[in-house]
Structure 1
């Protein structure tokens, strides 16, 4: 069945205006970030009756010139309005200043992606994350994650956790509806999901599969939460497909994990999951698919995030279309038993069993 995405019904004038927005987008992004970080939007927000450029400059100890050029850019971005020299914040300006999702996305763009994205063309040509070299010489971001500059690491984890933190409370009843005793958390990262499971169910045991560096971070978090007796780690290079997954788990859990790999690697990871399952086991895949979003803003964000994978993360993965994943599930010998949509911010859960 053929499906069409996108539309082209703008006037020529609107299309040209939108093209200029794209042409100057990097500059205007920095202006919006400066308006936020320098406290200008926050100050305007607090002044319900508005405020002048001179008063902003005085209160924030900035030059009138600096405030002026930023606010004039803010007018074109529709972050502020001005009437009789009095500036007020708009709804869009409020979201830039106050919305947690927008803040997380902007920090991720600035701290993790911005400098590296200058080499996006090279990443496309070479199939490598060429932008990652601004931080270090690793083949993928995952090997270097524990060694990234602190601010970069903070923004990376804030981005990663924001989406999962909203999803995990909703997902727990689905995970434990059949009372699993053993869960394999593949790519468990800092151990957030495993800790949530241990808190939710007093009997379950969870094993995290991840790189040794990430397991060290996870173990620290597990110990701090007092779950070392029920949550452990299994060090593994997940891209070494000759290395089998441990058997015996009731659930093999993959959350925001498979989007970190190429389709070829996803097929191998799902095949290794298949081989580790018994007939009653299930594979749970929690992902954000760009075609399965309620809001255009979500699809836009996911398409942008795909380019992070291209340029910074690994050079070969993306936020996938649902059909891409379903084809790989089938090739691995699995079938989708249940689909649960609209979890958290933008997630879909696929519960899979052996055919």
Structure 2
């Protein structure tokens, strides 16, 4: 089941807000609907957001057919800026938009709009296809960490639903499972939107991988009772020093893992690294509406008017991370050096 599909000039997105109870697809025939899907988390997960934004720019460009190239670029840049505002934390969104605009900026000034649109479409398709390849490479590298039967704990959803295919953290789990080295997965429910309960548990069950769902505040007890031997999560942005932004609650899991002597691994493609910021303190943290906390399944679970703090992400310091799995291999401390080497490879 694919989260992002491009066909016949239409972007089709799997509506993840309805899973697992209902499988429904959203047809985006204009960039505004795609932007709304990103904002509403109907499509989510850093790589999937990046791919969706790339195709949204193609849709936006198609609305500019017939304009002279200078005006075309100006209006496309405005569309890109609107897309940037949808989700502030996941760097893949900005990476994909910048990559798409780079295609247009490299074209000669007398380029016809139709030519530019065709070039944008090919670039968006390439971004999506590369994500599949990148996930497969990450899975192979990450699976090498598991050489004996292991039960892992994961937080949020870093699977095929969060990418174009396979997944980041769940991609590694799928590969290690196929090799006989994953015996089961504990999935945190991941409040407030329950992406672990609704999405991760559902994905793993579809693959026949044993999964046990727990509430977020059970992770420490599970570790203390030696029910898991490793933690594996995805990421939304990684700083130069190796600090990692991921779904809220990841930081707590990392602290618990360190306390119990359990390795804490992060799986993320190079597109998730922000080579412009030095540490996690520079990562913008998205805050979302209070109703995500005060309501559950459409039912109010808190007193009316209560004050709510609802950050969507937290930052795990690099000192708590055992290794970062990328398509180029494993990064380990000192992360400042290994990430610099990764940046050089990317160029």
TM band (smaller chain): 0.3 to 0.5
Higher helix proportion (structure 1 or 2)? 1
Q: Normalising to structure 1: TM-score of the pair?
A: 0.42
Greater RCO, 1 or 2 (C-alpha within 8 Å, sep 6+): 2
Larger Rg belongs to: 1
